[in-house]
Chain A
Amino acid sequence: DGGITQSPKYLFRKEGQNVTLSCEQNLNHDAMYWYRQDPGQGLRLIYYSQIVNDFQKGDIAEGYSVSREKKESFPLTVTSAQKNPTAFYLCASNRGSGVYEQYFGPGTRLTVT
């Protein structure tokens, strides 16, 4: 089955720790995205990558970092510099760098205390 997987589903961390969220896709999509969703809010773009070894900041990149070493994988690191890291994180992908339907992974709910 083709799709996007994110792990883990739930993640708990202490304040001051960096944490990495996994995102893998087997759809052969070029473009991948990370969004953050807070209660009552829409999706806000953190980072995106349209090709391997290249990525751009989205609207709320501060306190986050990414890498794109393989086409299938786009991990997101939430660093200790992110002031309010507790949120629902969604990974998405679409083919090409144009205007396409975006497919979403199941999400990771991160809680930092």
Chain B
Amino acid sequence: EDKVVQSPLSLVVHEGDTVTLNCSYEVTNFRSLLWYKQEKKAPTFLFMLTSSGIEKKSGRLSSILDKKELFSILNITATQTGDSAVYLCAVWSGGSNYKLTFGKGTLLTVNP
């Protein structure tokens, strides 16, 4: 059975802190890994990572994938209260029938 495990499950920080969210996976026939941000409604797409070692960056957010060790990290620098959300990691896997498996998410709370 495919598994995606995120840690920590929740995290409370102060504005300006840097945080690192973790995602490890065990899937059959890995294809790519996705990060989403969810603020009480629809998840919004952040990154898709397919190749190992190549960092994807968008403003204060960045992410990298390690296919050898089967994990990814999402970094957020200089956090703001607007970064408070659940961050979801998901992995595409499979042969002819692709499947997207989600982790349980990390609840990030950024206090002023």
8 A–B contact pairs at CB < 8 A? Answer: A40-B9, A41-B104, A43-B88, A90-B42, A99-B92, A101-B48, A102-B45, A107-B41
A45 and B32 alpha carbons, distance in the complex (Å) = 18
Q: Which 10 A-B pairs have the closest CB atoms?
A: A42-B102, A104-B42, A43-B102, A42-B104, A99-B31, A99-B92, A101-B45, A106-B42, A99-B32, A104-B43
A33 and B97 alpha carbons, distance in the complex (Å) = 13
From A41, which residue of chain B is reached at the shortest CB distance? Answer: B104
- Chain B residues lying within 8 Å of A4, measured Cβ to Cβ, are 42
A42 and B86 alpha carbons, distance in the complex (Å) = 10
Structural contact, A42 and B88, CB atoms closer than 8 A: yes
Q: How many residues of B contact A (CB 8 A)?
A: 24
Candidates A33, A40, A45, A56; contact of B104 at CB < 8 Å? A40
State whether the Cβ of A98 lies closer than 8 Å to any Cβ in chain B.
Answer: yes
State whether the Cβ of B100 lies closer than 8 Å to any Cβ in chain A.
Answer: yes
State whether the Cβ of A55 lies closer than 8 Å to any Cβ in chain B.
Answer: no
A105 and B43 alpha carbons, distance in the complex (Å) = 8
A6 and B12 alpha carbons, distance in the complex (Å) = 32
Quote the shortest CB–CB distance from A54 to chain B (angstroms). Answer: 12
Q: A45-B99, A101-B48 are in contact. List 8 more A-B contacts (CB 8 A).
A: A4-B42, A40-B9, A42-B103, A90-B43, A99-B31, A99-B92, A101-B34, A105-B42
When each residue 91-105 of chain A gets 1 if its CB lies under 8 Å from chain B and 0 otherwise, what string results?
000000111011111
- Chain B residues lying within 8 Å of A104, measured Cβ to Cβ, are 42-44
Quote the shortest CB–CB distance from A40 to chain B (angstroms). Answer: 7
Structural contact, A107 and B42, CB atoms closer than 8 A: yes
- Chain B residues lying within 8 Å of A42, measured Cβ to Cβ, are 4, 6, 88, 102-105
From A4, which residue of chain B is reached at the shortest CB distance? Answer: B42
A45 and B45 alpha carbons, distance in the complex (Å) = 18
